Amino acid sequence: MVHDVMRDGPILITGATGQLGMALAAQATMPHRAVGRPDFDFDSPETIARCVAETAPSLVINAAAWTAVDAAEQNVAAAYRANRDGPAQLARLCRDSGIPLIHVSTDYVFDGEKGAPYLESDPVAPLGVYGASKEAGERAVIESGADAIILRTAWVFSARGKNFARTMINASRKTNNLRVVGDQRGTPTAAEDLAAAILAIVGAIRSQGWRPEYRGIFHATNTGDTTWHGFAEVIFDIAAKCGAARPTVTAITTAEWPTPVKRPADSRLDGGKLAAIFGLRLPDWHDATTRIVTAMLEADAHT
């Protein structure tokens, strides 16, 4: 189906205050409207309908989500409202308006036991409420019948916002000896690189129209992989080059750092489908980390 409306209305970006939402709004060159709470709040379904009606978008990018993995265990209903029910409503509105939806999901839909990078077709097995609510959201979006692209990403970080790199930099200002989990493998993904990929997809839809092969799930992370410990080492190598003190980082096991929710041991995602259908490969995570940590420290120096 070709979406003629693609040439008209703005892009609606949700989750404007989040890492991905901020990156999308900063990079979008086409007309767009970025919305956040309270104007767009999955806890108030009437705000969703109102935003879509007021904006009359040509495409929606949903970057809003409940992302607090451990806190989701105590806030099950709210997590499902943000990660399943809200996206389902948004997808139905997109379907009814005949416009595409780009929705974002997570590597935490998997249990991490495969031992190799996950394909989109691999069975899901979330380990906690967050992963389960995101997986339910994927299904609800697909079942809506909307022309929806679901991008699963992982370990998102940016110069602004809450993320592992920020936690490491802050911790290194308080102590010079850190212990970081070294037996969980995945791919750090810069919000700005994911945003660039999403906007490239939007560009392809705007210029060439919707194609049936766009519908469904795609894996979209930076290239390469590491452990949280390996990620921390690279963060501190870059920070040291920027003049920050270099802490020592000791690798520990997951058992030595218990969390309310178990994380997947190996949630690497295979990006082959994104490359095959959209011609997109995100940059290497080292490159992303250099850019983000440098920008983070520069921003800190000016506050």
Nearest to 22 by CA among 52, 61, 56: 61
DSSP assignment letter at 178? E
* 156 lines the binding site for ligand NAP (CB under 6 A): yes
Nearest to 161 by CA among 123, 125, 190, 129: 190
β-strands 148-153, 185-186: how paired?
unpaired
Q: Which is nearer to ligand NAP, 3 or 221 (CB)?
A: 221
Query: Alpha-carbon distance 266 to 269, whole Å?
Result: 9
* 271 lines the binding site for ligand NAP (CB under 6 A): no
Structure tokens at 231: 């990620």
Q: Which is nearer to ligand NAP, 6 or 102 (CB)?
A: 102
- Rule CB under 6 A: choose which of 24, 51, 93, 104 binds ligand NAP: 104
Nearest to 102 by CA among 160, 56, 168, 147: 147
* DSSP H or E run through 164: helix 164-172
Q: Which is nearer to ligand NAP, 65 or 249 (CB)?
A: 65
118 given a catalytic annotation: no
Identified catalytic residue from 80, 108, 118, 130: 130
Is 285 exposed, middle or buried, given 0-12, 13-18 or 19+ CB atoms closer than 10 A?
buried
Total number of residues shown for the chain: 303
Q: Which is nearer to ligand NAP, 6 or 61 (CB)?
A: 61
* 153 lines the binding site for ligand NAP (CB under 6 A): yes
Nearest to 12 by CA among 161, 28, 3: 28
Stretch of 40-48, 140-148, 175-183, 272-280 lying at the interface with ligand NAP (CB under 6 A): 40-48
Size of the site for ligand NAP (CB under 6 A): 29
Shortest separation between residue 84's beta carbon and ligand NAP, angstroms: 11
Biggest CA pair distance of the chain: 57
Shortest separation between residue 215's beta carbon and ligand NAP, angstroms: 18
Stretch of 5-13, 34-42, 212-220, 243-251 lying at the interface with ligand NAP (CB under 6 A): 34-42
Q: Which is nearer to ligand NAP, 167 or 242 (CB)?
A: 167
Nearest to 148 by CA among 81, 93, 109, 106: 93
* 278 lines the binding site for ligand NAP (CB under 6 A): no
* 118 lines the binding site for ligand NAP (CB under 6 A): no
Query: Alpha-carbon distance 218 to 75, whole Å?
Result: 28
Stretch of 99-107, 169-177, 198-206, 236-244 lying at the interface with ligand NAP (CB under 6 A): 99-107
* 221 lines the binding site for ligand NAP (CB under 6 A): no
Query: Alpha-carbon distance 115 to 106, whole Å?
Result: 18
Stretch of 62-70, 118-126, 232-240, 272-280 lying at the interface with ligand NAP (CB under 6 A): 62-70
DSSP assignment letter at 7? G
Stretch of 61-69, 93-101, 271-279, 280-288 lying at the interface with ligand NAP (CB under 6 A): 61-69
DSSP assignment letter at 118? B
Structure tokens at 176: 């010079």
* 65 lines the binding site for ligand NAP (CB under 6 A): yes
Catalytic residue numbers, as ranges:
130
User: Contact positions toward ligand NAP, by CB under 6 A?
Assistant: 15-21, 36-37, 40-43, 63-67, 82, 104, 106-107, 134, 153-156, 161, 191
